[in-house]
């Protein structure tokens, strides 16, 4: 039996003030993708006489995945590499199914965005005339040529270059603010619902959100929209059990809004079964890339055995054709074999790597190297440095444990969940006709664009690629607006009802709060934290979380879906005591829908495409005869039904 | 660790219209207690330990006591962020090992970015559907 539905009739909570903003292009989100979109959109909007507005849940200077900073730019092609090789790397890492039109076009644009970062003031490490490494400030002081003029960056891997990135986001945000003007930026406004056109249900025409600072609703009316507010974090039970839950590897505030809101108005999603399980320094989640690639450290099982060397023949036999170059999920898989068979923990031998480097380096160089190792953490996951200090661990004296984390859903890192979008141009690189529908990075909803974590089937963009992709989406969106100037748009939704729906958690709390003596325990509602823990538990136990070592099967997924369906119903009884909790309530709602997409996609794809990220124990192999395809889903909010289809993968780059 | 506010040092940013930590926290965790006029981290288990509140606090009243379910007490990691560099002082739990690092954070003056300066902006809107950005062409191979 379904729960009786509650409505907000403003009998118990006060109606908020409402501000309506008319704009042409609305940017929802303030991370790398939308700050990129802001500068590029404004470069065209000025001449076209268009207005561009950005709305961010937090403060633009420190929002999104780069809020803490970064120690490297992970996608910079450089003159020494070919774009085709970048595409080949992404295809290998994402197990053979990517949209190569999308990946190639990021590769063709990303270096320009990195050059712009350097112009704006991002310190990028460089090689000096003697081939010594200097930091980004010394590079300027010594007058080394900029990257755009042939200067050499310092590679930590083939595609990565090291930066002094504490203020990376501040710099990128400053450029966006400078382009837009502060009067066009709304901070601390959380968009939770999208509006569609009365005459065309498949056309976006606005968004509604609320201030997390004052009792006020914002209604934005627009001609086109770019939605890019990150991936999904905390949809699975994290390995931490208390305060450490905040130490998610990806930003803890990423709530799946990028997927849930477009899905609710019918935008198609692709490869939502994909996930990312980063193997990172345990608990602090410090990056391992520089240790593997730059310091040449080795990781072993608890008994000193190199698990890659030991297990690789087995991995090759299990996944023939996919293990010639070790992709991220298969490296995880090799480590997980050891963990399952009881030979964990997995150790990163930082001490041995440092000792080896000490053989050839001078004392001064070694000191510099030590600073680099600490900066790698301090720039992007400070807790990992704090963890070393709290355990009295010096990385040059002892090894550190690494571990595969809880799963994350995203489209910009080593993962490819997201929305199904149009490619850059008709038959781009020989793409099929069905991959282009008029405007670069437009979702299947007219006028609705995305970038970064939002674009599915094309990972390995990272910060720079997301910024570049935001700029590409901005051009697509401006072109769309100019081509549809005559359109008269009117929201199909009743705005008053949308607003009432948004504040329902206030109404519910005020209505029922006096029934029990403890506000946390009440049979009439759930608080956001309670919904979050239930979601995390069921996703963990039935949808291949850490506790089952990333293993699931059809019966477990079906049980998970049963529980998720009940949770989704219970989420209509979310209660909130203040604006902060109202934000949490809607974050949970977005997480539930994203989690449901993930679960249903895993159920649909009857194979194990991403071993080391998750396993279908009932279909442990990769099955190319049936599943070398994009899995595409669409959700109908009115009927609460999901539809699945597939689209063949096509290789465009040799 | 979740950030904490030292009562003696926090002045509630009384000179500002809102507290600096409340302004910057990406996860909306910092609030001003109306009675005590001190900032408080309202949801410590949702703290990313991004240190943005620590870095921005004009009173240096915010530090971090690391995640209780993970980290032993006694160490400290303190940043001092200037306009063009950041200095980190890391004290180990043993109180003997101290590491100090200084890194550049930007090579241009704060507020100096003018992202359209020196570029001719196109008004040929056919270019919108071609590759490239206003700052430079897309790469071709």
Q: pLDDT (tens digit, 9 = 90+) per residue, A373-409?
A: 999 999 999 999 999 999 999 999 999 999 999 999 9
Summarize pLDDT for A8-17 with one digit per residue, the tens. 999 999 999 9
ipTM of the prediction: 0.98
Residues A430, A652 contacting (CB under 8 angstroms)? yes
Tokens of A448: 């609705």
- Can you give the pLDDT at residue A369? 87
Residues A322-335, mean pLDDT to the nearest whole number: 94
Is B75 in the A-facing interface, judged by CB distances under 8 Å?
A: yes
- Is there a contact between B45 and A246 if contact means CB atoms under 8 Å apart? yes
Is B121 in the A-facing interface, judged by CB distances under 8 Å?
A: yes
- Can you give the pLDDT at residue A24? 98
Residue showing tokens 């290789």: A651
Is B103 in the A-facing interface, judged by CB distances under 8 Å?
A: yes
* pLDDT at position A1 over 70: no
* pLDDT at position A482 over 60: yes
- Tell which of B26, B109, B112 to mutate to test the A interface (max A CBs under 10 Å): B26
- The answer, yes or no, to whether the previous bond of B127 is cis (omega within 30 of 0) is no
Give the residue from chain A lying closest to B133, CA to CA: A40
DSSP class of residue A157 equals: S
CA distance B31 to B112: 31
Using a CB cutoff of 8 Å and minimum separation of 24, what contacts does A84-87 make? Answer: A84/A653, A84/A654, A84/B141, A86/A159, A86/A460, A87/A652, A87/A653
User: Which chain A residues contact residue B3 at CB under 8 A?
Assistant: none
Nearest residue, CB atoms, B46 vs list A136, A246, A389: A246
CA distance A357 to A361: 6
CA distance A132 to A125: 10
- Is there a contact between B67 and A84 if contact means CB atoms under 8 Å apart? no
Summarize pLDDT for A450-468 with one digit per residue, the tens. 999 999 999 999 999 999 9
Tokens of A245: 């839950």
Per-position b or e across B43-64, b if 16+ CB within 10 A of its CB: bbbbbbbbbbbbbbbeeebbbb
| Helix or strand holding residue A648 (H, E) | strand A641-648
pLDDT tier at A188, thresholds 50, 70, 90: very high
3-state secondary structure of A126: strand
- Can you give the pLDDT at residue A494? 98
Tokens of A345: 């923990």
Catalytic residue from among B18, B48, B49, B58: B48
Tokens of A221: 């009316």
Q: Which of B73, B3, B26, B136 is nearest to A583 (CA)?
A: B26
Summarize pLDDT for A494-528 with one digit per residue, the tens. 999 999 999 999 999 999 999 999 999 999 999 99
CA distance A81 to A131: 19
- Is there a contact between B43 and A379 if contact means CB atoms under 8 Å apart? no
Is A79 in the B-facing interface, judged by CB distances under 8 Å?
A: no
CA distance A315 to A324: 10
Contacts A–B by Cβ distance under 8 A: 255
- Can you give the pLDDT at residue B16? 79
- Mean model confidence pLDDT for chain B: 95
CA distance A199 to A586: 28
Residues A415, A610 contacting (CB under 8 angstroms)? no
- Mean model confidence pLDDT for chain A: 97
Q: Which of A592, A237, A245 is nearest to B46 (CA)?
A: A245
- Can you give the pLDDT at residue A294? 83
pTM above threshold 0.80: yes
Tokens of B130: 């071609």
Please give the share of chain A, as a percent, with pLDDT higher than 70: 100
Summarize pLDDT for A61-80 with one digit per residue, the tens. 999 999 999 999 999 999 99
CA distance A633 to A266: 9
Calculate helix-pair angle for A528-542, A554-570, nearest 10 degrees. 170
Is A527 in the B-facing interface, judged by CB distances under 8 Å?
A: no
- Can you give the pLDDT at residue A3? 82
pLDDT tier at A368, thresholds 50, 70, 90: confident
- Is there a contact between B45 and A389 if contact means CB atoms under 8 Å apart? no
Residues A61, A173 contacting (CB under 8 angstroms)? yes
> Which ranges in A319-362 belong to alpha helices (H)?
328-340, 350-360
CA distance B108 to A68: 19
Summarize pLDDT for A283-321 with one digit per residue, the tens. 999 999 889 888 899 999 999 999 999 999 999 999 999
- Can you give the pLDDT at residue A290? 85
CA distance A184 to A34: 13
Residue showing tokens 């644009």: A109
Residues A21-29, mean pLDDT to the nearest whole number: 98
Tokens of A650: 């096509």
Could you write out the DSSP letters of every residue in A479-522? HHHHHTTT----BSS-HHHHHHHHTHHHHHHHHHGGGSSSTT--
CA distance A477 to A26: 10
Nearest residue, CB atoms, B139 vs list A40, A111, A479: A111
**E strands present in A13-168:** 17-22, 25-28, 52-56, 70-73, 126-127, 133-134, 161-165
- Can you give the pLDDT at residue A408? 98
B88 is catalytic: no
3-state DSSP: chain B helix, strand, coil percent, rounded to 5?
Answer: 15, 25, 65
User: Which chain A residues contact residue B26 at CB under 8 A?
Assistant: 58-59, 62-64, 67, 251, 253
**E strands present in A242-345:** 269-270, 279-281, 299-300
- Is there a contact between B45 and A394 if contact means CB atoms under 8 Å apart? no
* pLDDT at position A575 over 60: yes
- Can you give the pLDDT at residue A267? 98
- Can you give the pLDDT at residue A325? 87
- Can you give the pLDDT at residue A50? 98
User: Which chain A residues contact residue B136 at CB under 8 A?
Assistant: 112, 115, 148
Contacts of A609 (CB under 8 A, 6+ apart): A95, A97, A273, A274, A622, A627
Summarize pLDDT for A437-449 with one digit per residue, the tens. 999 999 999 999 9
Tokens of A137: 């400030």
Is B65 in the A-facing interface, judged by CB distances under 8 Å?
A: no
* pLDDT at position B1 over 70: no
- Is there a contact between A109 and B138 if contact means CB atoms under 8 Å apart? yes
């Amino acid at each position: 039996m379904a729960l009786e539905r509650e409505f907000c009739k403003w009998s118990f909570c006060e109606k908020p003030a409402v501000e309506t903003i008319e704009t042409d292009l609305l940017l929802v989100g303030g991370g790398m993708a939308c700050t990129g979109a802001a500068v590029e959109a404004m470069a065209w909007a000025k001449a076209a006489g268009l207005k561009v507005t950005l709305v961010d849940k937090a403060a633009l200077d420190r929002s999104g995945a780069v809020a803490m900073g970064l120690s490297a730019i992970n996608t910079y092609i450089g003159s020494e590499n070919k774009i085709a090789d970048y595409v080949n790397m992404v295809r290998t890492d994402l197990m053979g199914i990517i949209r190569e039109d999308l990946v190639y076009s990021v590769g063709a644009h990303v270096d320009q965005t990195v050059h712009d970062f350097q112009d704006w003031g991002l310190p990028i490490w460089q090689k000096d005339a003697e081939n010594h490494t200097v930091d980004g400030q010394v590079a300027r002081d010594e007058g080394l040529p900029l990257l755009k003029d042939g200067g050499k960056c310092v590679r930590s891997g083939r595609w990565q270059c090291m930066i002094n990135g504490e203020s990376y986001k501040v710099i990128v945000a400053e450029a966006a603010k400078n382009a837009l003007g502060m009067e066009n930026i709304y901070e601390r406004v959380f968009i939770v619902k999208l509006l569609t056109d009365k005459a065309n249900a498949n056309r976006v025409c606005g968004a509604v959100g609320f201030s997390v600072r004052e009792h006020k609703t914002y209604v934005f009316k627009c001609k086109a929209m770019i939605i890019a507010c990150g991936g999904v974090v905390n949809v699975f039970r994290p390995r931490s059990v208390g305060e450490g839950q905040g130490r998610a590897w990806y930003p803890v505030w990423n709530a799946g809004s990028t997927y849930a809101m477009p899905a609710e108005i019918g935008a198609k999603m692709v490869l939502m079964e994909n996930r990312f399980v980063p193997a990172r320094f345990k608990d602090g989640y410090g990056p391992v890339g520089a240790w593997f690639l730059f310091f040449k450290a080795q990781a072993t099982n608890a008994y000193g055995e190199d698990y890659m060397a030991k297990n690789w023949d087995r991995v090759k036999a299990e996944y023939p054709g996919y293990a010639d170059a070790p992709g991220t999920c298969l490296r995880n898989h090799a480590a997980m074999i050891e963990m399952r068979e009881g030979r964990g923990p997995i150790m990163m031998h930082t001490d041995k790597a440092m000792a080896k480097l000490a053989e050839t380096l001078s004392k001064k160089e070694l000191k510099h190297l030590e600073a680099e190792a600490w900066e790698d953490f301090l720039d992007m996951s400070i807790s990992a440095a704090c963890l070393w200090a709290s355990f009295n661990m010096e990385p040059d004296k002892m090894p550190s444990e690494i571990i595969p984390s809880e799963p994350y859903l995203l489209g910009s890192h080593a993962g490819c969940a997201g929305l199904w979008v149009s490619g850059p141009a008709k038959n781009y690189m020989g793409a099929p006709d069905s991959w282009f529908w008029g405007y670069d990075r437009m979702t299947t909803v007219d006028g609705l664009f995305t970038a970064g974590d939002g674009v599915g089937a094309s990972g390995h963009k990272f910060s720079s690629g997301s910024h570049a992709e935001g700029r590409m989406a901005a051009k697509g969106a401006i072109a769309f607006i100019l081509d549809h100037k005559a359109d008269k748009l009117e929201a199909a939704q009743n705005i008053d009802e949308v607003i009432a729906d948004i504040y329902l958690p206030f109404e519910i709390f005020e209505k029922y709060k006096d029934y029990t003596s403890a506000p946390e325990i009440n049979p009439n509602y759930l608080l956001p934290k309670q919904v979050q823990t239930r979601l995390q538990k069921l996703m963990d136990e039935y949808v291949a979380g850490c506790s089952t070592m990333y293993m699931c099967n059809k019966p477990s997924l079906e049980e998970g879906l049963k529980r998720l369906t009940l949770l989704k119903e219970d989420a209509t009884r979310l209660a909130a005591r203040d604006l902060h909790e109202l934000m949490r309530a809607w974050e949970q709602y977005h997480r539930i829908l994203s989690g449901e997409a993930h679960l249903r996609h895993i159920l649909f794809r009857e194979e194990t495409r991403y071993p080391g990220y998750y396993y279908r124990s009932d279909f442990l192999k990769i099955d190319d005869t049936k599943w070398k395809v994009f899995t595409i889903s669409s959700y109908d909010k009115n009927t609460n039904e999901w539809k699945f289809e597939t689209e063949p993968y096509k290789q465009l780059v040799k | 660790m979740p950030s904490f506010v030292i009562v003696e040092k926090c002045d509630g940013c009384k000179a500002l219209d809102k507290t600096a930590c409340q302004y910057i926290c990406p996860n909306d965790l910092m609030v001003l207690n109306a009675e005590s006029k001190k900032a408080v981290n309202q949801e410590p288990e949702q703290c990313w330990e991004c240190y943005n509140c620590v870095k921005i606090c004009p009173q240096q009243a915010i530090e971090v006591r690391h995640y209780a379910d993970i980290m032993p007490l006694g160490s400290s990691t303190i940043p001092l962020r200037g306009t063009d560099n950041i200095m980190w002082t890391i004290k180990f739990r043993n109180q003997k090992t101290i590491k100090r690092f200084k890194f550049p954070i930007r090579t241009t003056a704060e507020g100096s970015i003018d992202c359209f300066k020196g570029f001719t902006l196109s008004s040929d809107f056919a270019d919108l559907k071609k590759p490239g950005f206003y700052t430079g062409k897309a790469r071709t191979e």
